[in-house]
Structure 1
Amino acid sequence: MMAEGGAETEAEVRDKLQELVDKLYHFRDHYFETHNVEDAVRKQRDVKDQMEQTVALMDETDDTWKNKAFFLMLKGKALNVTPNYCTEAEEVLSKAVKLDPGLVEAWNQLGEVYWKKMDVTAAKTCFLGALNHCKNKVSLRNLSMVMRQQRSQDADENSRNIMDSVKQAKQAVQMDMRDGTSWYILGNAYLSLFFCTGQNPKISQQALNAYVQAERVDKTASSNPDLHLNRATLCKYEENYQGALDGFSRAAALEPSWTEPVMREEQLLDYLGRLCGLLGNKGKIRGKRLQNMLSSLSPGLLGHYGDSGGLQLKPLSALQPGKNPGLVVLGRVVFSLVPEERVPFTFGLVDTEGTCYAIMVYNMVESWGVLIADSVTIPEPHLKQHNIQHKGQTFAFQSIRVDSPVRLLVNGKPQGPSTQASATVAYRPQSE
């Protein structure tokens, strides 16, 4: 496109440069539409090569435009396409916002550069600066990420920051219901809220729904390894082990250089393998010792859950999947198993029929546990049946989920409030 006399107008230059940068980001975001997942190992190098070609073409632009804020913003955006911090991107974007403080996209890009630099305070200043000029979804969702990363010694302040993070992410979604990135960041905000406010099942469902919506409205979201890892983290906590293993595996395939999903997948496979082995041989406790342990199980160990509590003692084999209101189970501990992340505390429980189920306890202080031969009473047990297949391995077992040790009696004794603590689970919050 040429203006009369052969010289390009500013609008023509702007359009040409914008098209170059848009093509670069389309290449990155739609990489797996033109490449197989096996090519994931090359993706970052390919994006970097494409970025260098794009910047070289931009640098061929007439010098007249090179000190214009829009040129500097677009060049900074091109340099910022990779996941790593870029000094040159910071320099040109800083110059762009000085030349035109109202250039919202330059503020947002500069904020993302500071985010990659791990300068959370500077990133927040940029996103707030952009919002001062214009309410926009990019600043809102990036501010949501920043709010979750502001750590304080005050637990209440951390909770307020996470609540604010959810609010910002919701606003971003409301501005564009078809933006998958905003839905994904809302999912992360709910994930943080879930773990900081007592693991309310409604909040975990909101997180999962947001991730589903991200993939529904934006097919590129399915190529986001962070989304798969974070959703897998939630699936693991909710004992959807099939979903967790599939998610860790998918994240690892999409970003082969990222070791965390591989490690998490291996840890979960190891945990499930050891658990099934221990359940199969009842912790290697057999014969007379096991008989003696079980013969001393008496109704007196039901404590206040017994006659006065109105719960009916049933064998483990009588339980139905899901919650079992009005029932109580009693057994002896035959093994304990603590996964790498220490959540959940897991032990095997054998009842008088000799049935052995896994008991998974959450929200316990680190010092809490049970010993082999302890009796454990579980009111209104929540039964889960697991049938998991992953990479040639099969795991099938039954488990009972206990959301707090306070619910249990150990050797007939209540477990006090001091045994309870909030779970902390690692996930990956920083993604654009």
Structure 2
Amino acid sequence: MAADENSGDQNDLIMLKDLVDELYNFRDTYFETHSVDNAQKKQSDVAQEIEKTLKRLQEYEDRCKHKAEFLLLKGRCLNVAPDFSDIAEECLSQVVKLEPTLVEGWNILGEQYWKKGNLSGAKNCFTVALQKSKNKVSLRNLSMVLRQLPSASNESHNKQVMESVDLARQAVQLDVTDGESWYTLGNAYVSLFFCSGQNPQFSQQAFSSYAQSEKVDKAASSYPELHFNRANLFQYEEMFSSALEGYSRAALLDPNWDDPPEREKLLLEYLEKTTELIQNKGKVKARRLRTMLSNLNTSALGPCSSSEFRSPSGRVGSLEPRTLSALSHGNNVGVAALGKVVFSLASEGRMAFTFGMVDSEESCLVVMVYNTADTWGALIGDTIVIPEPHIKRHSITHKDKSFDFKSIRVDSPLLLIVNGKKQKIQSQIAVSVSSKPQCE
């Protein structure tokens, strides 16, 4: 008789586990069965499914003999919601006391701590889970938590990011078909890109990881966080069309999240303002512009006129001044762009300090300078020399708006000559872009 009871109890647990698995599947594949137009309803639809599953679980609570396994299922069910749950924390705390070897119990308890804002508690849970068994969930969760933990110095932060990348790589190696692990690796590479001198190799690895996430897992294409984080990187790389598309997609997938539409709006406003200012040369009156340009001559080249000048490309020798119209697309080795500042835009929410430059022919072009300190800027009337300028052409169409303009990208203010002088080291500070994790 006892054997029959035990068998029946196990069958109940299998059935309940299937119910909870179906709940996760409902949330994760929501847009495979619902139109994106229903995105506004996703949260309430998932909440209803949680309630239904919870009621079914409660029907078996009193008669279930395997208390730890039952509490784990209840904790898993409540963990589907994006917010912290006191009941889930209580259930899962009991699970790890009753069955300390249950890795899943430690993982979900860690996720609850994380949602609660207790990052050190979350880290401890994922670390304990990995001590019990190496698994992809603990690895990728620990990777995400490490990047969010406060650090005493840049050095310790960089060490945490390197460890985070290594953990995410291990998660991918355990299961190369897991889209969530690839997505986590993409975020880790974004962090590494910004804390390691913006090595382009790491941004490419981030893009590749995001693409692989979508390739191996259909559900990953529905992560609003993936589209948002990738859009931030696209914007930094001046791939503005892709950035706008990414913000727009993230906003569609999660209409309750304010950041994506706000970033899309800010970027559109920035592009509108920039193109308008290029067209009217910063609204500088013709007479004033002629006066500004009258003292623009090769003496402004400053150190660039020296035969010992070392260019960004590593070339040693003086640079030949060129008008903006004479510059070719891409890198212009051995030459310098020379002009006057006619407008500037502060970097708030835009990643780059932007200014307009007019040359002796009165051609106007926009310059985007990255990694600038808050105290650094270019003032109207300043003479700017850009050694070996990198020219980019932007043709952007998004929704009902179109933009077409040329720009020069400058990765650091230290590369510029302003009013005949090199810039001080204090003018540079590394830019950082935070990513939003998928913690659900």
The TM tier, using the shorter chain, reads over 0.9
Distance 2:117 2:329 in 1: 46
Percent identical residues: 53
Partner of 1:133: 132
Residues 193-227 of structure 1, C-alpha deviations (whole Å, 9 max, x = no match)? 11222211111111111111111111111100111
Partner of 1:177: 176
CA shift, 1:340, in A, is 2.6
- Scaled by the length of structure 2, the TM-score of the pair is 0.94
Q: Secondary structure at the match of 1:385?
A: strand
Q: Is the 8 A contact 1:267 1:340 kept in 2?
A: no
Question: Does the C-alpha gap of structure 1 residues 66 and 319 become closer, same or farther in structure 2, counting only changes over 3 Å?
Answer: farther
1:46-85 alignment runs, 5 A limit: 46-61=45-60, 63-65=62-64, 68-85=67-84
Question: Does the C-alpha gap of structure 1 residues 431 and 306 become closer, same or farther in structure 2, counting only changes over 3 Å?
Answer: farther
Partner of 1:21: 20
Question: Does the C-alpha gap of structure 1 residues 258 and 66 become closer, same or farther in structure 2, counting only changes over 3 Å?
Answer: farther
CA shift, 1:84, in A, is 0.6
Question: Does the C-alpha gap of structure 1 residues 329 and 95 become closer, same or farther in structure 2, counting only changes over 3 Å?
Answer: same
Partner of 2:213: 214
Question: Does the C-alpha gap of structure 1 residues 5 and 343 become closer, same or farther in structure 2, counting only changes over 3 Å?
Answer: closer
Distance 2:61 2:268 in 1: 58
Partner of 2:382: 374
Distance 1:396 1:311 in 2: 29
Equivalent residue pairs, number: 430
Question: Does the C-alpha gap of structure 1 residues 290 and 174 become closer, same or farther in structure 2, counting only changes over 3 Å?
Answer: same
Distance 1:4 1:105 in 2: 27
Query: Which consecutive residues of structure 1, in runs of 5 or more, have no partner in the other structure?
Result: none
Partner of 2:428: 420
Question: Does the C-alpha gap of structure 1 residues 38 and 342 become closer, same or farther in structure 2, counting only changes over 3 Å?
Answer: closer
Distance 2:13 2:143 in 1: 31
Question: Does the C-alpha gap of structure 1 residues 389 and 342 become closer, same or farther in structure 2, counting only changes over 3 Å?
Answer: closer
Q: Is the 8 A contact 1:165 1:189 kept in 2?
A: yes
Distance 2:278 2:65 in 1: 69
Partner of 2:314: none
Deviation >4 Å, runs of 4+: 3-8
Question: Does the C-alpha gap of structure 1 residues 175 and 6 become closer, same or farther in structure 2, counting only changes over 3 Å?
Answer: closer
CA shift, 1:310, in A, is 2.9
Residues 274-298 of structure 1, C-alpha deviations (whole Å, 9 max, x = no match)? 1111001000113222122222211
Question: Does the C-alpha gap of structure 1 residues 396 and 119 become closer, same or farther in structure 2, counting only changes over 3 Å?
Answer: same
CA shift, 1:268, in A, is 0.8
CA shift, 1:66, in A, is 5.5
- Scaled by the length of structure 1, the TM-score of the pair is 0.96
CA shift, 1:27, in A, is 0.3
Question: Does the C-alpha gap of structure 1 residues 398 and 224 become closer, same or farther in structure 2, counting only changes over 3 Å?
Answer: same
* Larger deviation, residues 287-296 vs 80-89: 287-296
Partner of 1:403: 411
Task: Choose the corresponding residue for 1:349, options 339, 357, 360.
Answer: 357
Distance 1:298 1:415 in 2: 20
Q: Secondary structure at the match of 2:81?
A: coil
Partner of 1:163: 162
Structure 2 residue 325 is matched with structure 1 residue 306: no
Structure 2 residue 392 is matched with structure 1 residue 392: no
Partner of 2:296: 297
CA shift, 1:390, in A, is 1.1
CA shift, 1:4, in A, is 9.5
Partner of 2:192: 193
CA shift, 1:63, in A, is 2.9
Distance 1:431 1:380 in 2: 44
CA shift, 1:343, in A, is 2.4
Distance 1:6 1:230 in 2: 51
Q: Secondary structure at the match of 2:63?
A: helix
Structure 2 residue 439 is matched with structure 1 residue 431: yes
Q: Secondary structure at the match of 1:161?
A: helix
* Larger deviation, residues 133-142 vs 353-362: 353-362
Distance 2:82 2:146 in 1: 20
Q: Is the 8 A contact 1:405 1:415 kept in 2?
A: yes
